[in-house]
Every structure is written in structure tokens, then in C-alpha cells.
Structure 1
Amino acid sequence: MEIDVDSMSLEDLRNLRTQIDRAISSYETRRRKEAMAALERTARELGFNLNELTSPSSRGRRGGAGEGQAKYAHPENPSQTWSGRGRRPRWVTEQIESGKSLEDLLA
């Protein structure tokens, strides 16, 4: 299908652009729905709910300690812990300055 845009009026061109924009939007919406359905099927086949896999609480956690869980502990006082997030506690800095490594402090 070929359209002779050179012979069209400005109003006709604008109407055509509106129709094209709507068609593109509709196409993108359909493709997004198809992709979402495929993702949901795959998640179900693997024993998951897609929301479980895409919720903010499941992102960024790579099998280790979650936010707020102790990853490091003071060697002489295990009640002093650090999750590895945020600013280092003074006891961690002191242990590193005394020659220990972060690996030595793993809980």
C-alpha cells in the first residue's frame, strides 16, 4: 500500500499522523501483553508467580544476607554485627586497621 503524501492537504496529513500514532500505540500494547503472557507462562512452568519474581522485595538479593541481616560479626563480641550495607561501624574499621580483612569478620 502506497500513500501519495505529497498530494495530501495539511489537515489530511495530520489526520494520517494521528491514525499512525494510534496504530503504533495499539501494536506496542498488544506486543507488551503478549510478552507478559509469555513471561507468566514461563514463570508458572518454573514454579513461580511472576509477581514474586518482579516485586521490589525480590530484586537485588543474590542469595546472601538480606537487608538488615548480619553478614559480619566482631570476633570477640558476636553481638556487634554489620550487614555490609551503609557506613562501616567503628569496630569494623578498627579490626581492618589492626590487620584483619573483611573476610576474617564474616559471620
Structure 2
Amino acid sequence: MNGKEDKTNSSEVLERMSLGELKELRKKLDRAISNYETRKRQQALSALEQAARDHGFKLSELISDRPSGRSKSKAGEAESSGPPAYVNPDNPEQTWSGRGRRPRWVHDALEAGRTLEEMAA
């Protein structure tokens, strides 16, 4: 059978189906499409994770952490979150106002045994 005959036969089959059968077929097709998209998304994610590992990173490190001390706005501009309340003792260019989410360097310093008082500006 060639492609043209397949389409004709498929169309004939669909024409003979009741509304309920067509709706059930649509549900099955929607589910199949969703499963396909989920598989493809997982394959892409796995490929990204492998590429990150190949470069010595975890994917979460690459997509969630922006370099600390850098502005969300244009590079070099100060953030509007206020004056720095804390300074990274290992890199004075990295600061934190004490508001919002703690930068990675603050978490790392606290885990290393430092206190916020030691990092106060």
C-alpha cells in the first residue's frame, strides 16, 4: 500500500467513527503527543546534564547561579537593593545588601564557619 491509499483508508475509517469514538481517539492522541514531548524533553535534559558534566559542572550550577556580585541589570551598574551590608572577605568586589536571596558566597562562607557579623561591611 502506498501513502495515498493509507490516507484514503484512514479518512474512511475516521468518517465511520461516532463522535464519542472520535473524542476518545483525540484523548489517546493528546496523551501520545504529551508522552512523546515528555520523552524528548527528558532526552534533551539528559544531553544538557552530560554536556555540563563533560565541562566539570552540574547543570543546576550553570542555570541557577549567576556570578555573585554582578548586577542583574547592565554590567557594572550597582543593584538598587541598597548599600552593601556584607562583603565577601575573599573577594571584596562581591557584596550583599542583606535583602533578598543570599548569594552563593554567603552560603559558602557560613558553611565554612564564618558568621554574618564577620562579613559585615
The alignment's TM-score, normalised by the length of structure 1, stands at 0.55
The answer to whether residue 39 in structure 2 is matched with residue 39 in structure 1 is: no
Map of 1:53 onto structure 2:
62
Show the counterpart of 1:20.
29
2:69 aligned with 1:65: yes
Q: CA deviation at 1:6?
A: 1.4
C-alpha RMSD of the superposition:
2.9
2: distance between equivalents of 1:87 and 1:7? 66
**Are residues 1:11 and 2:5 paired?**
no
Q: Percent identity?
A: 42
Query: In the aligned structure 1, how far is the partner of 2:38 from the partner of 2:81?
Result: 44
Which segments of 5 or more consecutive residues in structure 1 lack a partner in the other structure?
73-82, 90-107
Q: Deviations over 1:33-85 (max 9, x none)?
A: 10010000000001100110112xx14x4xx8335xxx98xxxxxxxxxx612
Aligned length in residues: 71
Aligned to 1:85, the other structure's residue is in SS state coil
Task: Tell me: CA distance 1:87–1:37, structure 2 relative to 1, closer, same or farther (3 Å).
Answer: closer
Does the C-alpha gap of structure 1 residues 35 and 87 become closer, same or farther in structure 2, counting only changes over 3 Å?
Answer: closer
TM-score, length basis structure 2: 0.49
Point out where structure 2 has 5 or more consecutive residues left out of the alignment.
1-5, 84-121
